[in-house]
Every structure is written in structure tokens, then in C-alpha cells.
Structure 1
């Protein structure tokens, strides 16, 4: 009996010992974590105490805690995005000559100041934090430098002493102010006295009843993430189309920008406000028509072979089939008058060279940049601020690649072109 009782006691003790040794892995992990936290808290406290002691000793003794070797290793490098904070105030505003000013900002200093005065109420409004205290002149100068040179944002930031993100934000805000404040005052469709002056100007070029020349130009862009094939043009690069109408003084009277580079010029026209107004007879007043050989010739615009022949849009005769000398004279006169739009695009891209190189901005921002450049183009013309037209490297549109897809013009359009052909052959330049 005692032996049985001892056996039971031994079994009970062995079972209790096993229960004490039973291990839960989660409990072990939590215990280790608590121990580690305690250890690291002790280590951090000791490090902080050691640093405070060393710093206090250095202050009391007036000596440095680093030896010469440490000081050589710990060279403090200046911020790379800021080169000079006084470059604008000293170098540009005080030392730039008129020639340097025009070469870099693409307009005279007088025109620059007029532009700043126009934009000042918008850029200095109370609800705007643009520029963080920078002057309007500096904001406008930063924007013109970007548009005129197409420098990288980092380079412009180094020059003006700001971060490249600030340059990007300033350029967009100033361009938006240009469009909001000046677009309706400088991109103006000719009416009344201005229309009469435009007709006289084209008549001096040998083409009657003309009030403008229309054409398209490709603006290089970065391939967009959505539908990139639509923006790949026939020239072999990605672009966005700028359609512009220009008067005899090379001023843009209408601007339409945003269509993908693959789209044909005629389709861009058909989806523009000019086409809608022209088809509705609202492009020019009806009382401006002129009788030529018994034909009522309205005021019209002229274009290249890519556009349709309409009563309000004249284009050259196709040089095939029964092409004769009288039609050749008409084509020469039309081409001579239409050169104003080619010259305008050349000056636009020559002055604001950001339009010549690939624009890496988001595609939604490109129309704003292009429109603001057109506004500045007209502003400089109104200020009589001329620039050399012989600008190298700007792309010239190739008319031969613009296929004419309209072979059935309206009869009244043919009659108008025939009357103008007779006029051009009777009246020498």
C-alpha cells in the first residue's frame, strides 16, 4: 500500500513539473521584446547622458570636442540649389545692359516694366502666396527666362536663388496670370477699324479682301502616358498642334492649341470656333463685301492646301492638270500674302524657345504655356519691341505633306476664287 501511495505521489510530482516546463512561443517572444526594450532604453539613456556630459565639458573648457581629423571629415557642404541670392538684384537689375536684357528676356527693359505693371494686381493679390515675398519683377523675370531659354528648372533655381519646385510653380502661376489678364486684350479678332486696316495691309501685299492667314504648327512634347500614338505626328516625333490666324502685322488674332499631333490640319479647323462662325456667316460683317467681276467677294482668310476651299477660306489652285499661267499668278499672290503666318510662327518660336524643344511638362499644362507665349508675342509687337526674324532651327511646316482631302468645293467658293484670280492678273503689285 505504501509502495502504491509513493508511486502515485511520484507521478503527481512529475506531471506538475511538466506543466511548469510547458512553453508558449508567443509568451517567450513577448518576454524577449520586453527585455530588449528595457535594454535599449538603458543604452539610449546612457548615450544621452554621455553626450550631455561631453557637451557641458566642452562649453566649460571652451574647447572643441573634435580633433583635426574629425573636422576634416565633417565638411559642411552648402546647398547646391542656391548659388547666389543677389544675382537678380545686383547682376541683372543693376549691371545688365539693354542688349543683355533683350538677349536673355527677349524684350526690352521698358517693355518688361510695362508687363510687370500689367500683372502686378494679379500677382500681388492678398489671397496669393506666390513667391513668398519675391517682387513681381523677379517672378516675371523667372518666367521669361524659362520661356526664352528652356533651361532646366534646377539651373533657373540656381540663378534666382530658389528651389526648382518654386520655379515650376512660379512659371505656371505667372503664365496663368498672363492668360487671365491679357489674353482677351491682345489676342483680338479684327473688327471695324482694325479689320479695315488689316484688309488694306493685305491688299498692299497684292491680295484683296483678305483679313488673315491660317496655319498649324507642331509643339514638341513628351510622349503622354495615355494614347501616345495619337500624338506621334507625320514628322516622326510627339507633338501638340497650335492653330493660329495671323494678320498683316504678324499678330495672332485667334489661337487654338491642344489637338494631338497626328490630327490633320483640316480636322483641327473643323473642330474650332472659326469654322463654326465661318459656316454661320459670322466671321466678318456682311457689309464688307466687294464686287469683283460681278461676283460678291466677302472678306476671307487664306490657308495652305491642307484646308478646304470655302467662301470664307481661300487656298491655292492645285498644280496639276489644266494649271495655267493665270492660276500661277494667283498662287504666287496667295503664297506671298500667306507668308505672314509662317513668319509669325518663326518669330514666336525664335523668341520663346521653349516651344522649339520637347516640353516635359504634363500634357494638360502645355496649352497654357503655348497660349501665354502667343500673348507675349502680340504684347511685344504692340510695344514695337522687334526681334530678329532670322531665327535658326525653328521648324518650317512642309506643305507638300499636307494632303488635300477636299476635292468638291462649293460652287460659290470657286466663283470667288476665279474673280480674285482675274483681279490679281489685272492689278500688278
Structure 2
């Protein structure tokens, strides 16, 4: 019982004794045993005078008030105090309850929708990522559970959260958040990249790719579409050498990302090698894909004959890329050619739209790429990690979010390099043969 209430009852006892000194319950000889009987109102009712009734009435009222009086809220501890704890909704215990208990009590659509809102992908895809990364995270002897660490990083990538925000949310030091982010993105960009981002060299994959594009464009043997996009940097350190090279044509500091996508918007090549100030053709020529294609290291074995031309699988790009035997571009950027050329350009741009939409999905799913708030040294691996996650989502047929809209591109075709001339002339012949064949097929319908 509350100590202040005991004191109040003691005072009432003295009042009762003053009003009825003849009561044996309140005599000096029995006052020593009061503390043992005070909680028994029946003993107080043995008095025949009015005073005990008054005493009991007052005691009952005070007891009621004491038991129903609001408690003063305890003063919250300072976030900087040693006893501070992470918010319950983001704690390890809360995550464990969600992932091991509540998750199985939820319907799959509801479960996956909740998981996507938190981490950017459904629960099955999340568990796939965790299972593949867990052996490497375990080797690092991280003090946090592997799935919890992966969830934390995915929440940052999908929502674009800053280190400061994430540190506050999970009640961890910013340096630890940075360390975990760097570790997980590095593992995604190195360990999972070879499994989920592959150049289609097998005949089965070539057939799947070319058939998919032919359904979209009516052009045969397209196996991919290439495009570049600047990934905006949140800020650029003043001590970066040649910092002006990072400012893209849209006016913000960035890193240039080049991707090649198939007809299902899955990336099969990713390159992050240049500051945002580079043009698309220069970046492409610096890529490993370009060097492997122009050196003959990659020869796609699925050739067809079109009007006497030997046409191997090729990729398509816009007018900012060089016209080569393995990369076909439009005749013009504003449809100013003849009817056959314009029909070819329209069909080619339908195929190229797949890579535009793939980039829009990439930045729509992983919003950190809309304003990349990581250090410049870790920016490339973060971008590649998001590309790996994008492929996982596309392969699993995850619902597609709203597309991130890229600015409209413009520019002139790049100059042909000396070592490219034979590839360029052969590319011109291929493009003309394909354009004439397409126009004839369209005209005969």
C-alpha cells in the first residue's frame, strides 16, 4: 500500500480517537497492534458510535481516490544515455517476431506487400538474398543477425534513407550503419553479380532474347538494348580531383551507369566506370563489353540471312552510341529518313524502350539511386548492388513500381574511330538490309 495513504489513515485514526475516546480499538494499549489490522475495515466497524462510521467512510473515499489517481509519466531517458534502446518497431526482437512468428500467420499477398513496403521486395525474394549472403556475413563476425543486417541495408536502398536517419531509427552508431551498408552492397556487387547478371552466350538464352525482342519490334536477332543514365550524387566532396567532370549534361554531379537489358527488362550487363560528365559513346567504348565484342572474344552463334547479309545477334541503342556491326542505332533521331528508314527507327526504338523502362524500374524500386547519399568510393558498388536486386525482382516477377522518369535525351551521333571503321561500314549494311526487309514485310500486309 502507498506510504502516503498509510499516513493519511493514521491521521484519521487519531481523529477517530479524539471523537470517541471510549472505543477499545483505539485505546493506547491496542495502538501498537494497529499496523497489523489497518487493512481490515471489519474491525473498525465494531465501534457503536458515529465516529467509526465517519472514519470508515472517509477512509473508503480516500482509498478509492488513491487507487484511481493518474500516475505521472516517467521522464523519458535521453537518447544519448547508456540505457537508451532502439525503437521497438525496428529492434532485433521486433524484426525476429515479424520474420519468424507473425509472418506465417499472414496471408501471402498481405505479407509480401508489407515486406515490399519495408524492404523493397517480397518475403521470398528477401529470404533468397539472405540465404545467399549469410555465409559471407557470418564470416565477418558481425554482432547483428545476418537477416537483420540485410533488412537494414535494403530499407536504406529502397527508401533512400541517410546514415543519420537510419542510425536514429535503429539506435546504432552511423559508422556501424556505414560499415554494414558497405559490406552488404559489396557482397551483392561481387558474390551475386556473376549469378544474376550474365551475358547471354548460350544458344538457349540467345533464342529467348531474340524471340522476345522480335515479338516487340518485328526485327530479327536483337539480343539486348543498351542505354546510359546519370546517377545523381547527393554531394560531391570539394577535394575531388576534376570535380567538374562529375557534372552531367543535366547540371548535377553524378556517376554514369550503362546497362544492357533483355526484352523482360532484366540486365545482362552493367558498367559503372565514368563520371557523369562523360558522354554515352565514350563510356561504352571504355566498357568491358565493348572490348570483348570488338576483339571477337564474344561471338554470338545464332546467325540468320537477311537479303544476303549474315546477321548475328546484335544490341540496339539510340543515336548517342556508335553504329557498329554488333550495335545498331537509328538512321536519324527525329524520323527524317525515307519510309523504310523511319519504319526501322520506330521498330528499333520499341526495342530500346525496354532498357529505358528497366532503368525507370531500377530507380523507382531503389530510390537511393535518385539521390545517392554514399561516399564516392562506395558509389559504384552501391549502384551495381541495386542492379543485382533489380534482376532478382524481375526474375521473380515482382510487381513493377511507378517508373522513374528520365530527362529527354538529345545529341549528335558520335564520330567513328579508326579501329571501328570496318565494324561501322558492316553495321551500315546490316541496318539497311534489316530496314528494307522490314518495310517490305510491312507493305505486303
TM-score bin (small chain): 0.7 to 0.9
Q: How many residues align?
A: 346
Mapping for residues 115-134 of structure 1, pairs under 5 Å: 115-125=129-139, 128-130=140-142, 132=143, 134=144
Distance (Å, rounded) in 2 between the aligned partners of 1:210 and 1:302: 7
Q: Tell me by how many angstroms 1:320 deviates.
A: 7.4
Distance (Å, rounded) in 2 between the aligned partners of 1:76 and 1:350: 38
State the Cα deviation string for residues 105-162 of structure 1 (Å, max 9, x = none).
Answer: 111111111211111111112xx232x1x21110000000010011122222233232
- Cα–Cα, structure 1 residues 121 and 345, in superposed 2: closer, same or farther, change >3 Å? same
Contact 1:305 1:399 in 2 (8 A): no
Q: Tell me by how many angstroms 1:83 deviates.
A: 3.8
**1:137 correspondence with 2:147:** yes
Contact 2:344 2:438 in 1 (8 A): yes
**1:167 correspondence with 2:177:** yes
- Where does the alignment leave 5 or more consecutive residues of structure 2 unmatched? 1-74, 104-110
- Where does the alignment leave 5 or more consecutive residues of structure 1 unmatched? 1-73
Contact 2:116 2:122 in 1 (8 A): yes
- Cα–Cα, structure 1 residues 304 and 112, in superposed 2: closer, same or farther, change >3 Å? same
Contact 1:148 1:354 in 2 (8 A): yes
SS state at 1:288 partner: coil
SS state at 2:320 partner: coil
Distance (Å, rounded) in 1 between the aligned partners of 2:285 and 2:413: 14
State the Cα deviation string for residues 14-48 of structure 1 (Å, max 9, x = none).
Answer: xxxxxxxxxxxxxxxxxxxxxxxxxxxxxxxxxxx
Q: Which residue of 1 aligns with 2:245?
A: 230
306, 311, 317: which one aligns with 1:297 = 311
- Cα–Cα, structure 1 residues 414 and 136, in superposed 2: closer, same or farther, change >3 Å? same
Contact 1:329 1:424 in 2 (8 A): yes
Q: Tell me by how many angstroms 1:244 deviates.
A: 0.7
Mapping for residues 109-120 of structure 1, pairs under 5 Å: 109-120=123-134
The CA RMSD measured in Å over matched residues stands at 2.3
Q: Which residue of 1 aligns with 2:429?
A: 415
Distance (Å, rounded) in 2 between the aligned partners of 1:294 and 1:168: 58
Q: Tell me by how many angstroms 1:75 deviates.
A: 9.2
Q: Which residue of 2 aligns with 1:68?
A: none
Q: Which residue of 2 aligns with 1:204?
A: 215
Q: Tell me by how many angstroms 1:379 deviates.
A: 1.3
Distance (Å, rounded) in 1 between the aligned partners of 2:186 and 2:79: 34
TM-score (structure 2 length as normaliser): 0.73
Mapping for residues 308-323 of structure 1, pairs under 5 Å: 308-318=322-332, 323=337
- Cα–Cα, structure 1 residues 424 and 381, in superposed 2: closer, same or farther, change >3 Å? same
- Cα–Cα, structure 1 residues 306 and 322, in superposed 2: closer, same or farther, change >3 Å? closer
- Cα–Cα, structure 1 residues 146 and 271, in superposed 2: closer, same or farther, change >3 Å? same
Q: Which residue of 1 aligns with 2:260?
A: 245
TM-score (structure 1 length as normaliser): 0.76
- Cα–Cα, structure 1 residues 82 and 324, in superposed 2: closer, same or farther, change >3 Å? farther
Q: Which residue of 1 aligns with 2:201?
A: 191
256, 267, 288: which one aligns with 2:282 = 267
Distance (Å, rounded) in 1 between the aligned partners of 2:167 and 2:312: 53
**1:180 correspondence with 2:194:** no
Q: Tell me by how many angstroms 1:249 deviates.
A: 1.2
Distance (Å, rounded) in 2 between the aligned partners of 1:362 and 1:208: 43
State the Cα deviation string for residues 346-379 of structure 1 (Å, max 9, x = none).
Answer: 000000000001x232211100100100111111
Distance (Å, rounded) in 2 between the aligned partners of 1:266 and 1:100: 42
Bigger mean CA offset, 94-103 vs 251-260: 94-103
Distance (Å, rounded) in 2 between the aligned partners of 1:342 and 1:229: 26
- Cα–Cα, structure 1 residues 284 and 204, in superposed 2: closer, same or farther, change >3 Å? farther
